[in-house]
Amino acid sequence: MTEDAELLRRYAQERTESAFAEFVQRHVDFVYGCAVRRVGGDAHFAHDVTQQVFVTAGREAAVLARHPVVTGWLYTATRNIAAQLVRSERRRHARELQAQVMEELTRNEDANVDWARLRPVLDEAMDGLSEADRQAVLLRYFEGKSFAEVGGRLRLAENAARMRVNRALDKLAAALERRGVTSSAAALAVALASQPTVAAPAGLAAAATGAALATGVGGGGAIAVFMGMTKLQLGLASAVVVAGTTGFVVQSQTLSSLRAESARLEQQVQAGAEVEKENALLRDTQREADALARARAEELAALQQKIADARAKLQAASDARMAAITRTTAGSAVVLTGQLYDLAALSVKPNATFRSPPSYPVELRKLGITGEAMMDFVVDASGAVQNLRAIKATHPEFAEAAVAAVQNWRFEPGRKDGAAVATHMQMPVRFTLSDGKSKSAEKRTPVLPWF
């Protein structure tokens, strides 16, 4: 049996409190170090976590004595208790107080209250409140209770509790203003909720040991009785032993101590009920968070589908418009006589004598959209543009604008062996916007190829 197991066994079976005190002393640094890391370096929280771990260890001493690795149990207990404490603290500061802070910020008021000025007059102002208002402020901001919990303690509905707290804050703010501390009720709520914590005296190991032993079954008051004995009492007891006197009996538990023990046990039961309530709230909160996440994921998927459908419709409309433009230009095609030549076969290429620039589509220019349209046409032997069509375009509007302009162009016809001939041509008409260094966007014309 390990030394830890022996100490725990002695405490569980014989209620040897010195054994448990030695067990705490052996592991308090380890548990406190784990707690500090778990609560982000907050010494106050780490102190509370350490005490709760050893309270649990004392209550479970008989089982823990049989555990193969006691430090493993202590590590797990520290993790669980620290996580529960951190979650509880986060919920406490996140609920309802956030709404008051946001309200204060939106009104462009100063949400900071000088605590150094507030502290000397706070209690005096609190004394001026009625008992009901003072209880509401204490429960909400000094005990960190939610409005629902305040209502439960004061036998009020949640909304009624909220109204009482708000009225009490207004009265407290007015009382503080008469004492030279000016602040709104919302800013005062922030200051009260975030007031500095007064550190308790040092002596964590002794405090943890005392708290654990106070909750033990049988002998819970023995260490207190022992520690309360004066040097004179110890000396007298020693003298009696030396003299051979026997039968010295000290009654360790009086009726009052039994009543105190009963009260402590009742507090433990109430604390267990509060823990179960917190756990139930955690489960409900997790379920709500999961449901909200699923709903948001479904909304996002639906929105993405709508976007995809809209893009598909826009593309279909664009394709249909391009097809209509192609059909319109194809319907105006003429039958050419004579041979049709490509540019590569000519001895002299067509040369533009008149080119009117296309008009930039207004809506596309406003949106800053650029693009191009590819034109296919024939320059006949007289230099006129025939059989013009847009074979592709980044936007149908660019195709329409390009067709409207190019159909009015005139050329010196291409020549083959000195004779004017019909020439098949393809050319892009590019639409670009000004970069601000030359022409303005309103006067910028599309880029035309050089002939």
What pLDDT does residue 225 have?
Answer: 37
Please tell me whether residues 322 and 346 are part of one structural domain: no
3 state SS for 198-226 = CCCCCCHHHHHHHHHHHCCCCCCCHHHHH
Name the phi and psi angles at 332, rounded to 5: -95, 10
H-helix or E-strand containing 420? strand 419-431
Lowest-confidence segment of 62-66, 238-242, 294-298, 378-382 by average pLDDT? 238-242
Helices (H) and strands (E) in the chain, counts: 17, 7
164: CATH: 1.10.10.10
Q: What would the DSSP string read from start to end of 275-299?
A: HHHHHHHHHHHHHHHHHHHHHHHHH
User: With a threshold of 0.85, does the pTM exceed it?
Assistant: no
pLDDT at 126 over 70: yes
Residue at 165: amino acid letter? V
Is residue 436 a part of any domain in this protein?
no
pLDDT at 287: 85
- Domain membership of residue 451 (yes or no) is no
* Average confidence (pLDDT) over 415-434: 92
d(CA 444, CA 267): 83
Residue 446 resides in a domain: no
pLDDT of amino acid 275: 81
The two three-digit tokens of residue 147, written as one number: 């409005």
Is residue 22 over pLDDT 60? yes
Do both 10 and 47 map to the same domain?
yes
User: 292 and 370 in one domain?
Assistant: no
Assigned domain for 440 exists: no
The string of DSSP letters for 218-274 reads: SSTTHHHHHHH--HHHHHHHHHHHHTT----------HHHHHHHHHHHHHHHHHHHH
Query: Is residue 228 over pLDDT 60?
Result: no
Greatest Cα-to-Cα distance within the chain, rounded to the nearest angstrom = 150
- Cα–Cα distances (Å) from 214 to 23, 56, 225, in that order, read 16, 12, 12
Structural domain contains residue 442 = no
More confident residue, 436 or 90: 90
24 within some domain: yes
Which residues, 6 or more positions from 410, have their beta carbon under 8 angstroms from its beta carbon?
Answer: 352, 353, 354, 383, 384, 385
pLDDT 10s digits, 156-190: 999 999 999 999 999 999 999 998 888 787 788 88
Closest CA to 113 of 32, 189, 5, 216: 189
What tens digit of pLDDT does each residue of 326-349 get?
766 666 677 777 889 999 999 999
Q: Which of 126-140, 197-211, 250-264, 357-371 has the lowest mean pLDDT?
A: 250-264
What H or E segment, with its residue span, contains residue 194? none
Between 102 and 58, residue with greater pLDDT: 58
- Distance, in Å, from the CA atom of 74 to the CA atom of 50, rounded to the nearest integer, reads 10
- Whose CA is closest to 388, among 400, 401, 376, 397? 376
Residues in CB range of 124: below 8 A, 6 or more apart: 179
Tell me the backbone φ, ψ of residue 152, rounded to 5 degrees: -60, -40
Scanning the structure block, which residue is given the tokens 């006589």? 337
- Burial 391-402, CB ≥16 within 10 A → b, else e: eebbbbbbbbbb
Is residue 439 in some structural domain?
no
Q: What are phi and psi of 278, to 5 degrees?
A: -65, -40
What distance in Å separates the CA atoms of residue 167 and residue 162, rounded to the nearest whole number? 9
**What CA–CA distance (Å, rounded) separates 276 from 272?**
6
Which has more confidence, 191 or 99? 191
Confidence label for 244 from pLDDT (cuts 50, 70 and 90): very low
If asked whether residues 270 and 286 sit together in one domain, one would say yes
- Domain shared by 75 and 160, yes or no: no
337 belongs to a structural domain:
yes
DSSP 142: I
Per residue in 302-329, pLDDT (tens digit) is 989 989 988 888 788 878 877 777 766 6
* Burial status of residue 16 (CB atoms within 10 A of its CB: 0-12, 13-18, 19 or more): middle
Q: Are residues 316 and 336 in the same domain?
A: no
- What per-residue confidence (pLDDT) applies to 278? 81
Q: What per-residue confidence (pLDDT) applies to 221?
A: 43
Q: Are residues 273 and 311 in the same domain?
A: yes
What confidence score (pLDDT) does residue 80 get? 94
- Please report, for the domain that includes residue 365, its CATH number: 3.30.2420.10
Integer Cα distance of 92 and 193 in angstroms: 10
Count the domains in the chain. 4
Q: 298 and 166, same structural domain?
A: no
One domain, residues 17 and 44: yes
Strand partners, 425: 377
- Are residue 258 and residue 336 in the same domain, yes or no? no
Residues 88, 110 within the same domain: no
Q: What is the pLDDT of residue 424?
A: 95
- CATH number reported for the structural domain that contains residue 86 in this entry: 1.10.1740.10
Instruction: Please report which confidence band the pLDDT of residue 222 belongs to, taking 50, 70 and 90 as the band edges.
Output: very low
The mean per-residue pLDDT over the stretch 421-446 comes to: 73
Residues 87 and 50 in one domain: yes
Residue 322 domain boundaries: 253-329
